[in-house]
Structure 1
């Protein structure tokens, strides 16, 4: 396993300091996390990056690829409605043929609850920004995206509900989104998404699937239960029956996805592209105006900020604002810091509705002399 270079104690203390001043509770979480849960929440795109382990006769687990899910689980186990947690420790991701580190240090914070998500977003991004600056780099920029803004923009176009839902679902999957926009998803899609268990009740479908597994002597991939697979087959087949985009609709979405630049300028362009059903989009734009004001109050240099409407993340649990602190000296896929909003994750973990946002910094990348 490739390790990253050690960060000098003095530099690490400077990078850690903004987190320690944030009033968060220190938390430690297990290095091993349930594989099936990680894949369910983060998506199959994460599988190639995981180090998977399995004790004899036990369920598959993975070395934690980051801290978000693990800290969220610890928060729920605590039985409190809100909380802020500071963590520092090693994370692990397989790098394949690349030369990047596979075991690396992360310092971060996760915040749950609260009644002002806009302020919480700004606090998380501001924290990531200040901690990154503490590493000594002078070439940093802060890039934002917003999955919820895309959803609000799609709502403004007043598309068929199933079509709108399908577009929102594939936003963070560029290949599938491109297929929707260029029309290549149309040919043969209905057959590709046929539900082989259609025509029977859900209970019968689950029983049939379990029986097939037993007869074949196989187990579901990643430990997925039959109930989940039956539900996903039905959802996929239903979505395939939805209408497809007209060329004009596809064109306006392409124009939206091409926007990138100073945040307020991009927001003005989004407003100009919006369709007639714009109530939720207007609310999202208003929230962004407040967010930019809060970022400035957090000490973030807005002239170093960019809003990129196509910016998403493969991890399936993010559903709102995303951000990355980048260095011009490092490749685009090596951010110094990253974070975002993931409100839906708590509910998916069985904790009910509640806001959630977090950020992490890679100290070895924040360090001015670092390259990993």
Structure 2
């Protein structure tokens, strides 16, 4: 498979054709990744929970393969295998993806854009949102709700709080899983109260140590005790789980850190107002998160320069898309007044390329378009109210 112009999808709607044309005019080369993909990158990078929705098979060598459940990882893998790897490059796509979705069809069309290698991150982020809004307009939908967030702000907060390594890893992992994060924060609120156990000091020592060393110690202790595979999990997997759960039980997160995290996650609304509140929080708590806030503010400026009415976007510090590989800006576009599911969604994933084997980090940002949902929404009467897209 090569990253060259691909034939237009057979039977695609005129709106989808217009969408691909707009992507090409914006300078994005159409790619067509292979339908059958290695399963490991999806399981490693999207979380093990995706396994239940994948269509899996195994080749003669024993490698686990799957029908592609989305196109971001396949396009990224092909880019890294091409001669343009490491250089700025942009690709568009339109094709079927395969994912179990309950009572809905498991095969459906997905379009989108992936942009690699651009160092002007704030401008690239704004361009993605502007092109995503153009995508909805191509389907006759001009009134949409824009939801945005930025996981880089949360990561900056956690780093500035200087938490135990295990807690840093746990909270960042949980950020895109709102139920898990809320449960952890609630447990921690209870754990920091009275009634600590007699081995709290041991748990705190494990939590405060280097994760690799702590994991090795717990693994060795379990091996000495004669533990083997339990429930299909290896000793190292069980030790890893124990390390996280023991830290949770030990109540290692200070109450002032808990309050700051909760205060941070409560910030939402107009992006400009959010910037003011974030700077106030950083100043009050003497937290060094100015670089992340500056990047957020720069992005908002580039969005306005592209004709996006930022005052009508809904920003939230707690907004996340449920994928482990996002590292910064995230967004969703929903039909105004009927936003059950996103029509277009995407964000920044700077860490993905090294996880896929790149020797050095490569900036990356993109979005996906759900063709059937957008086609259906474009045929429905517009909801009352107003929302601005890119001009």
Give the TM-score normalised by structure 2: 0.77
Q: Distance in 1 between matches of 2:274 and 2:299?
A: 14
Question: Offset of 1:197 from its aligned partner?
Answer: 6.5
Per mean C-alpha deviation after superposition, the further-off stretch among 161-170 and 238-247 is: 238-247
Q: Distance in 1 between matches of 2:253 and 2:269?
A: 27
Q: Distance in 2 between matches of 1:272 and 1:34?
A: 46
1:369 is matched with: 379
Question: Offset of 1:42 from its aligned partner?
Answer: 0.9
Show CA shifts across 1:29-60 (max 9, x none). 11112222210111112122222233566422
Per mean C-alpha deviation after superposition, the further-off stretch among 240-249 and 170-179 is: 240-249
Equivalent pair of 1:147/1:312 in contact (CA under 8 Å): yes
Question: Offset of 1:307 from its aligned partner?
Answer: 0.7
Say which of 284, 287, 291 aligns to 1:278.
287
2:43 is matched with: 39
1:192-341 to 2 correspondences below 5 Å:
198=217, 229=237, 232=240, 236=244, 244-274=252-282, 276-279=285-288, 281-332=289-340, 334-341=341-348
Question: Which structure 1 residue ranges, 5 or more long, are not aligned?
Answer: 1-5
Per mean C-alpha deviation after superposition, the further-off stretch among 253-262 and 48-57 is: 48-57
Structure 1 residue matching 2:357: 3-state secondary structure: coil
1:49 is matched with: 53
Question: Offset of 1:300 from its aligned partner?
Answer: 2.1
Q: 1:245 to 1:58 in 2, by over 3 A?
A: closer
Question: Which structure 2 residue ranges, 5 or more long, are not aligned?
Answer: 1-9, 208-213, 382-391
Equivalent pair of 1:45/1:315 in contact (CA under 8 Å): no
Q: 1:241 to 1:116 in 2, by over 3 A?
A: farther
Structure 2 residue matching 1:115: 3-state secondary structure: coil
Question: Offset of 1:8 from its aligned partner?
Answer: 6.5
Q: 1:306 to 1:196 in 2, by over 3 A?
A: closer
Equivalent pair of 2:166/2:244 in contact (CA under 8 Å): no
Question: Offset of 1:331 from its aligned partner?
Answer: 4.0
Say which of 114, 119, 123 aligns to 1:110.
114
1:146 is matched with: 150
Question: Offset of 1:344 from its aligned partner?
Answer: 0.7
Show CA shifts across 1:52-90 (max 9, x none). 233566422221111111111101111421221111111
Say which of 172, 185, 189 aligns to 1:168.
172
CA-atom RMSD, angstroms?
Answer: 3.5
Question: Offset of 1:297 from its aligned partner?
Answer: 2.2
Q: 1:158 to 1:174 in 2, by over 3 A?
A: same
Equivalent pair of 1:182/1:250 in contact (CA under 8 Å): no
Question: Offset of 1:200 from its aligned partner?
Answer: 6.5
Give the TM-score normalised by structure 1: 0.81
Equivalent pair of 2:346/2:366 in contact (CA under 8 Å): yes
